[in-house]
Amino acid sequence: MKVDEDAQQAVLNRLRRAQGQLAAVITMIEAGRDCKDVVTQLAAVSRALDRAGFKIVASGMRQCLASADDQAPPMSVEELEKLFLALA
């Protein structure tokens, strides 16, 4: 999937942030940190991943509709809806 360069950079930044936050969650659990702190950090990871996914879907919708591979049919509206709802 090709994504607009600006969108790609934003997605990568969000994913890197989520990666760091997830590493922090793992460290917090291993250190026996308070449940509230762990859940708060885990929620931040989840939001970062959701935002990255929504950005990918928003910027790649056109490509999904008009498949770059002539042999593969374009995605149907139902398939796009299912893909989008997978992020919810």
Q: What is the pLDDT of residue 25?
A: 95
Q: What is the pLDDT of residue 19?
A: 95
Q: What is the pLDDT of residue 85?
A: 77
What is the phi-psi region of residue 75: left when phi exceeds 0, alpha when psi lies from -120 to 50, beta otherwise?
Answer: beta
Q: What is the pLDDT of residue 80?
A: 73
- Among positive and negative, which fits the CA dihedral 45, 51, 52, 54? positive
The residue ranges of every structural domain in the chain are 5-85
What DSSP assignment string belongs to 11-29? HHHHHHHHHHHHHHHHHHH
The CATH architecture to which 5-85 belongs is: Up-down Bundle (1.20)
Per-residue confidence of the chain (88 residues) as pLDDT tens digits? 566 777 888 889 999 999 999 999 999 999 999 999 999 999 999 999 988 888 887 777 656 665 555 566 767 778 777 877 777 6
> Encoding tokens for residue 71?
């042999």
Tell me how far the alpha carbon of residue 17 is from its chain's centroid.
11
